[in-house]
Amino acid sequence: MLRLVVIAAALLLSAGEAFAHGEEPAPPPKKETPLFPVMVVQTRKGQIFVDAKGMTLYTFDRDTSGTSSTCEGKCTERWKPLAASPDAEAKGDFTVITRSDGSKMWAYRYRPLYTSQSDHAPGDVNGFDGANLWHVAHPAF
């Protein structure tokens, strides 16, 4: 019984020292935000770009200037621009385009990137519509 009392006292003393120094447990590590919210995935039809949620990314043939998006107003209800943070910077083949409303979006080789409202799950490619000039975004080699 005496041994139990001695062990309990030793534990209380060591715990008291930890609290006396005011040490708090270390905070959990911060989640690193990716440099670009774009990933490459392999599909049956080759490699394609997807966003951080795995949703397919598309380009629009009418985006030809390399510095702006022509998908504005009602177009953005069906095609969501891949948003970039206000402090995002271009790197490599990925560029940042400022939209007419002042928001920023990501582009690949100066082609703005969008997700489609027609896609409901990662891997869907329902937004492809060659007749309307929308294409799945692929990495260039």
pLDDT at 66: 85
Q: Of 101, 102, 128, 100, which Cα lies nearest the Cα of 114?
A: 128
Band of residue 74 on the pLDDT scale cut at 50, 70, 90: very high
Band of residue 132 on the pLDDT scale cut at 50, 70, 90: confident
- Reported pTM: 0.73
pLDDT at 54: 95
For residues 22 and 18, give the distance between their C-alpha atoms in angstroms, rounded to a whole number: 7
Q: Which residues contact 139 (CB under 8 A, 6 or more apart)?
A: 40, 47, 49, 108
pLDDT at 84: 94
Band of residue 13 on the pLDDT scale cut at 50, 70, 90: low
Task: Give residue-wise pLDDT tens across range 21-66.
Answer: 555 666 665 555 556 689 999 988 799 999 999 999 999 999 998 8
